[in-house]
Structure 1
């Protein structure tokens, strides 16, 4: 896919064949910009473009075009398309830029439109759909610039996850699943793994060695992240948490922003890390402590301490 048509590779002749197609939508729509491609049947490709949905039959080199019709409620909700997904029932899900989510019934050739609704709070969180993914439990995951959505097919309802659930960012991009049922999603801050059973999140960023704003691909075992500086891959099942609790040491005690050293006449009688009790009078009301957690393995993401 490119912004100037799309290419197919002819293995027998060892060459690429360039394709482009124009309908009658006019100059407001760039029909050479292709966002996603999906093979739904052998030789039948669905193409998400900036000018509606194209169906390309490579067997006879023909196109069919679906686009928004103002007075037809069963047409596409928007001509600017971003992402495609074929679910296990055979329906085609289409993410648009501004028109919400569309589900296409190939038998009736009708589109069902699902939009964000601030009043109900039960729909998708945004009408801009970045990517789509169906997990092993048949749930449809929808990434948007305002939250990660899960469509629970069995209950026909949407659930939205965001920073309030532990994600580092609300702008979601790619989605995939590992062999243990954990979801991996890319965001503007890096990549996160999400356990949907326990609603727990782990975030990884550039300090962990991942690329920000990267493209994600899952080959069935390894996850690949492609960024501006190259490609990295990792086995998601080999990523383990550092559960070591680092020792904590006090490094300074201050009164009125001045360090206090141990003296027999002062409030601090012994070394700060040895003393069991510290007594201050009412005039010594402004005090502070400094401390460190000794974690040389990963000091940037040291365990949080509360006292």
Structure 2
């Protein structure tokens, strides 16, 4: 800097030149950013913290452009380009102020070594918890947004909650032992709130007071107000519809069997789709239903979630049967064999950016619809998913299912997923996938239950990675089973690492292994 800035003497303790050609300085008791000969930002939180002689201090710019200041005694600070600063402390579960070392790895994890505090990893949580303090102990079952922008949350045992203008308001809809149980909640186009509560009875509210619907409806698993003003209910014993004060339950002669239904959706043309416990998908048009059953359905897989896409495709989430794509009267099943993290699809949302987000019993995952369509068309064998787990801020890996709506896309684009420990909220547009594949290594090879030494062609143990890559394993005649044990290391989200393997030329395609870390082959033919 020069004297025209009013500071002819700068006693500099640390400097950092950043990627935008700015210079962050720790000088004269202040932490500031200079650019083009002028001070343009300052960390007010750090003012007068670093005065006099300062040592054991470091500065680092991360991949997002923020600057990290760490000091042995003053702690750790994250400073944004405009000077906004977060000081890590006990409220972050950060174990102390004596930060001795700092590192950012290839996956953008931040690591800090704290004297008598250990090695600490810091990473922004993608998901935020949305739950009243007194409801965290009970599972969140259903979530929705009403016409006024309020968020409604139904729980197993703690009742119904409304979140509006940063305040929670609680409701108990029924009486008796089941008064705190709310299974489904949703708003309609005229401001009413519909809910299934207590003994799965249908309730309605207008003006803040809930009462049991008239006529009474029981065994309600899901509720769907449609654009024509009707309210559809998925029932323990079939499908029902309210038109004003008139209620109709569909009968077998209407095309709907008296079976459990747990999912509803309305398509662009106004048709209502319903998913049954025996795996049957119903389409209701002008009070008449047509049924569809997957041709590969040897064992029925209950339908737990539905999404009607704008292009006419119906996405069907099943219990243990993966994801179904239904279009032009044809089902295509996509499961863990094609790359999905789980075969239980509790929730399906469209982020309006070409991706489906699905809640499962193994966390939440995102997959491009283009990849799903390509698999359905036979253009590719598997899909690539971005999976999110506990390390990403999910309060529980198990998302709520069996009642709908269990997930919701807000008008501002954020998405809500009900889990067993509260509602997880995520901003999908802020997510960029980690494209770095984890380093993979074959750790060991076993033949007929016996480990084989990793040796070079010269007959001695491999001493480094270069020699290890040239290892040649010879399996003598008479052996029956060969097992390869492998590993892939990701510090970004170690619980989300998934594997696929291929033994060329024996395997024509990659084999999805999920979290399994070994591949077994029996009775391999002679040859290289």
Both structures adopt the same fold (TM-score exceeding 0.5): yes
Correspondence 1:98-113 to 2 at 5 A: 98=278, 100-106=280-286, 109-113=287-291
1:201 alignment counterpart: 384
2:339 alignment counterpart: 166
TM-fit CA distance, 1:67: 2.9
Q: Distance in 2 between matches of 1:278 and 1:127?
A: 47
Q: Give the SS at the match of 1:130.
A: strand
1:178 alignment counterpart: 351
Q: Residues 78, 205 of structure 1: CA spacing in aligned structure 2 closer, same or farther, 3 A cutoff?
A: farther
Correspondence 1:114-193 to 2 at 5 A: 114-118=292-296, 126=300, 128-145=302-319, 146-152=321-327, 155-193=328-366
Q: Residues 295, 164 of structure 1: CA spacing in aligned structure 2 closer, same or farther, 3 A cutoff?
A: closer
Q: Residues 267, 159 of structure 1: CA spacing in aligned structure 2 closer, same or farther, 3 A cutoff?
A: closer
Q: Residues 88, 293 of structure 1: CA spacing in aligned structure 2 closer, same or farther, 3 A cutoff?
A: closer
Relative to total residues, which structure has the larger helix share, 1 or 2? 2
TM-fit CA distance, 1:166: 0.3
Q: How many residues were matched structurally? A: 277
2:204 alignment counterpart: 8
Q: Distance in 2 between matches of 1:37 and 1:116?
A: 25
Q: Distance in 1 between matches of 2:469 and 2:268?
A: 66
Q: Distance in 1 between matches of 2:469 and 2:262?
A: 63
Q: Does 1:242 align with 2:417?
A: no
Asked whether the equivalents of residues 388 and 496 of structure 2 are also in contact (C-alpha less than 8 Å), the reply is no
Q: Residues 114, 231 of structure 1: CA spacing in aligned structure 2 closer, same or farther, 3 A cutoff?
A: same
2:409 alignment counterpart: 218
Asked whether the equivalents of residues 307 and 316 of structure 2 are also in contact (C-alpha less than 8 Å), the reply is yes
Asked whether the equivalents of residues 267 and 310 of structure 2 are also in contact (C-alpha less than 8 Å), the reply is no
Q: Does 1:49 align with 2:49?
A: no
Q: Distance in 2 between matches of 1:166 and 1:250?
A: 21
2:419 alignment counterpart: 227
Q: Give the SS at the match of 2:337.
A: helix
Structure 2 residue ranges without an equivalent (≥5): 1-195, 373-382, 401-405, 445-449, 475-483, 504-528
Q: Residues 126, 150 of structure 1: CA spacing in aligned structure 2 closer, same or farther, 3 A cutoff?
A: farther
Larger Rg, first or second structure (1 or 2): 2
TM-fit CA distance, 1:233: 1.0
TM-fit CA distance, 1:231: 1.8
Deviation string, structure 1 residues 98-132 (Cα, Å, up to 9, x no partner) = 261211122xx2211212434xx7xx984622121
Q: Distance in 1 between matches of 2:441 and 2:227?
A: 63
TM-fit CA distance, 1:223: 1.5
Q: Distance in 2 between matches of 1:157 and 1:277?
A: 46
1:68 alignment counterpart: 251
Among 204, 210, 224, the alignment partner of 1:38 is 224
Q: Residues 219, 8 of structure 1: CA spacing in aligned structure 2 closer, same or farther, 3 A cutoff?
A: same
Q: Give the SS at the match of 1:197.
A: helix
Q: Give the SS at the match of 2:371.
A: coil
Structure 1 residue ranges without an equivalent (≥5): 23-30, 261-265, 283-288
Asked whether the equivalents of residues 68 and 79 of structure 1 are also in contact (C-alpha less than 8 Å), the reply is no
Q: Residues 125, 299 of structure 1: CA spacing in aligned structure 2 closer, same or farther, 3 A cutoff?
A: same
Deviation string, structure 1 residues 267-300 (Cα, Å, up to 9, x no partner) = 46x96358699899x9xxxxxx999877544444
Q: Distance in 2 between matches of 1:131 and 1:305?
A: 28
Give RMSD over aligned pairs.
Answer: 4.2
Deviation string, structure 1 residues 169-196 (Cα, Å, up to 9, x no partner) = 2222211111221111222222222223
Asked whether the equivalents of residues 190 and 206 of structure 1 are also in contact (C-alpha less than 8 Å), the reply is yes
Q: Distance in 1 between matches of 2:339 and 2:346?
A: 16
Q: Residues 50, 63 of structure 1: CA spacing in aligned structure 2 closer, same or farther, 3 A cutoff?
A: farther
Asked whether the equivalents of residues 203 and 210 of structure 2 are also in contact (C-alpha less than 8 Å), the reply is yes
Which structure has more relative contact order (CA 8 Å, sep 6+)? It is 2
Asked whether the equivalents of residues 52 and 65 of structure 1 are also in contact (C-alpha less than 8 Å), the reply is no
Q: Residues 20, 171 of structure 1: CA spacing in aligned structure 2 closer, same or farther, 3 A cutoff?
A: farther
Asked whether the equivalents of residues 188 and 212 of structure 1 are also in contact (C-alpha less than 8 Å), the reply is yes
Asked whether the equivalents of residues 162 and 169 of structure 1 are also in contact (C-alpha less than 8 Å), the reply is yes
TM-fit CA distance, 1:161: 0.9
